[in-house]
Structure formats: structure tokens, C-alpha cells
Amino acid sequence: MSVEQSGDRPRVVVLGAGFGGLELTTRLSEEFGEDIDLVLIDQSDAFVFGFSKLDVMFGRTTPGAVRHPYADIVKPGVRFVQSTIRTIDPETRRVQTDAGEFAADALVLALGADLDPAATPGLAEGGHEFYTVPGAFAARDVIDRFEGGRVIIGVLSTPFKCPPAPSETALLLHEHLATRGLRDGSTISLVMNFGRPIPPSPSASVALLEAFTERGIDWHPSREVYELDPARKVALLRDGDEMPYDLFLAVPLHRAPRVVLESGLTEDGWIPVDSLSFETAHPGVFAIGDVAAVGTPRAGVFAEGHAAVAAEHVAARLRGTTSSAQYGGHGVCYVEFGGDEVGMVDVTFFGDQRTGELIGPSAELAADKDRFGSSRARRWFARDWHAIPASA
């Protein structure tokens, strides 16, 4: 089946409805309205903020409360298609899906990074990943059933999405176990192949390390788990060491989606792009977010920043003009410290003034984080929403 363009309207096909795909689609809809055919394709039926996964894991809210159905998107010129993408042809800008074939005047890949738990032997049998939405939701029950013992939070490869998340998990797990009276009989170890918890921000890393020390969380920098032995309940490290565990929470290996790898767009596993415009080597084909090799962390706020600039260049292409919009590598990430306090890392990666300063943590910034999420829910889904419901 072939899905053809409607009328004389130019068509933009956006693959992936995460931060990047949602923001880019919104901006183009605001600019062109019904004069454009915007096709947003994702295999899922709903969006979940990354930080909501931790909220569900630690009982702050429920899975149903954090899902934002794509069916709620009602914007001029936009139609959402829930389907699996089978092939991408960057030469012709044609995409084959289970819902048919889509030809595009401009094609935007915002498919993120896939997680591959199977790449780590023993993980499926002996551990629990918490970085996918289903994995995080399932981890809620695992954590609730846990009666104390040795916990390892292991980052199994780099780069990975949302660099603060493993540290947040350690701090929130400490709080959760303390509340249940299980902390004194438990250990929490964080293992990752970074020299500090958040490499772009020395000040945030210092604050996290101080928080780890205060809470008795063991920090294992520049180390990596490569295999689990479920029978012996030990994690095997690349330096030859072993660490025993009762609960292993994993950040699995990340890779570009298979359909992207098969498209021929990638180099060294990710899509190279012009770091200022996000256009690939194929005219009219753009890549934003986690799947793009840009030089910024793989996190939603950076994908949103990519989308703002890429939308300008897509719009210029449709008009037959050029755009001077450039990406500056700026983003703000929130970091949960526990105790209802949140820090904010303000990072700029490009230009002469590269910064990574920590603000907070404070209760005021927890409210700011909630406003961040609720503003995007209103912008993308036209709904009032709060990360933590008032009744929680």
C-alpha cells in the first residue's frame, strides 16, 4: 500500500514522537498550519517523560497517570500514524511502514536510541533494566518486593541516555529503603565507566558525590559490568573483579534502531549531521535527538533544542530559502536528590563559554521541574498535567 501526498501541500515525515519529534512537529504546525502535511510516525501509542519512569518506579505516581496518548494530538496539518517503520531510503526520502509507504519533501529522523539488554550475558535472567518504559514500570513491583540486601545500579555501556538518571536512582532508592526500614541492612553501589557522575558538570558531580557519602552509597567510577552470573548472584567487571548482588538494576547497552543502521545513514553506530543545522549528508534528510551524533548528551531537553533549530531549516527548505539558525548546545537538566529536593544543571557544550553549573538542590526547583513537564504537556498534547498528581 502506498500513502500519497495530499493535494499540493508539501509533506514532512517525522519518524519518532519523543521530545525531538513532538517539538519539531509542533513548531512546523505553528508556522504552516493546514498548508503542510505533517506525518508523525511512532510505534508506540503514548509518550512518557523520561523523569516519569523514576516517579513510577518509586511509587510517586502510577503508570496510567504518566502516559500521554498520541491520539490527543490535534494540531493543524498534523496526523499521527502508529506503525512500525520497516525501511528508510534517504536517497528518495521514502519510508516503508506497516501502515504503508510515505514519500517526503523533508524527512526527519527522531527515533532515539534503542536498548539492548541481550547484549549483556545474564542480564535477562539475573537483573532488571529500568531504562525502557516497560522496564521501569516493571521495576516498581521488583523494588516494592525487595526486602533489603546488596543493590548494584550498573551502567553497562557508554554513551547512554540521561546521564543523571543512574545517580538519581541511587539517591531515590536510598530514600525508598530508608522509608521502609530496610536501609541499614542494605548496600547501594553505583557502577559506571565515567570518572564522575555527570562528566559535563564538575559542580553537579561534586554535589552528587557528597550526597553519596552522606547516604552511604558506594561509588565505583571508571568501571563497567559486562556480564551477570545469575547462579552465583555476582556481576563480572571488565577489570577482572566480581561484585555480589541481591538486586541488579541495569542501564543496558544503547544502539541506534536497527532500521536506522540498515538505512546506511550511520557512521560508528550513529547518524552524522551538520552540528548547526542537523541535516545529514542527504539533502532534505535531518536527524535530531539521541540517534544523531551531535556532541551533546542523549537527553530529551537536548533533543528539544535540536528540534527548534532543525525546524527552521526544514521550513526554509520548504520555502526554497535558507536559514541562519544555529544550534548552541545549551540545555537544562533536572537532578533528583531525594527529600523532595531537585538540582538543575545548566550546560552549554558549544562555543567559547562551555559551562556545566549546578543550581540547588532545593524544593523550589522541584516545583520548577514540575512546571517544565506541565508546560510541554500543554504545548504538545493540549492537556493540564502535573508530574506528581496532587492525590499521590
Per residue in 196-221, pLDDT tens? 999 888 999 999 999 999 999 999 99
**pLDDT for 105-154, tens place per residue?**
999 999 999 999 999 999 999 999 999 999 999 999 999 999 999 999 99
Q: Check whether 270 has a pLDDT greater than 50.
A: yes
Classify residue 185 as left (phi > 0), alpha (psi -120 to 50) or beta. alpha
**pLDDT for 67-96, tens place per residue?**
999 999 999 999 999 999 999 999 999 999
pLDDT for 351 equals 57
Q: Check whether 1 has a pLDDT greater than 60.
A: no
Instruction: Quote the CA–CA distance of 121 and 118 in Å, as a whole number.
Output: 7
Q: Using 50, 70 and 90 to split pLDDT, how confident is the model at 7? A: low
Contact between 373 and 49 (Cβ < 8 Å): yes
Mean pLDDT score of the chain, rounded to an integer? Answer: 94
Q: Using 50, 70 and 90 to split pLDDT, how confident is the model at 354? A: low
List Cβ neighbours of 145 (8 Å cut-off, separation of 6 or more).
none
pTM, two decimals, is: 0.93
Q: What is the mean pLDDT of residues 245-272?
A: 97
Instruction: Quote the CA–CA distance of 163 and 277 in Å, as a whole number.
Output: 24
**pLDDT for 293-308, tens place per residue?**
988 888 999 999 999 9
pLDDT for 57 equals 97
Classify residue 216 as left (phi > 0), alpha (psi -120 to 50) or beta. left
| CA–CA–CA angle 164, 206, 245 (5° rounding) | 60
Please report, for residues 148, 280, 366, the alpha-carbon distance to residue 264 in angstroms, rounded to integers and kept in the order given. 47, 11, 42
What percentage of residues in the chain have a pLDDT greater than 70? 96
Q: Cell numbers at residue 267, please?
A: 557512521
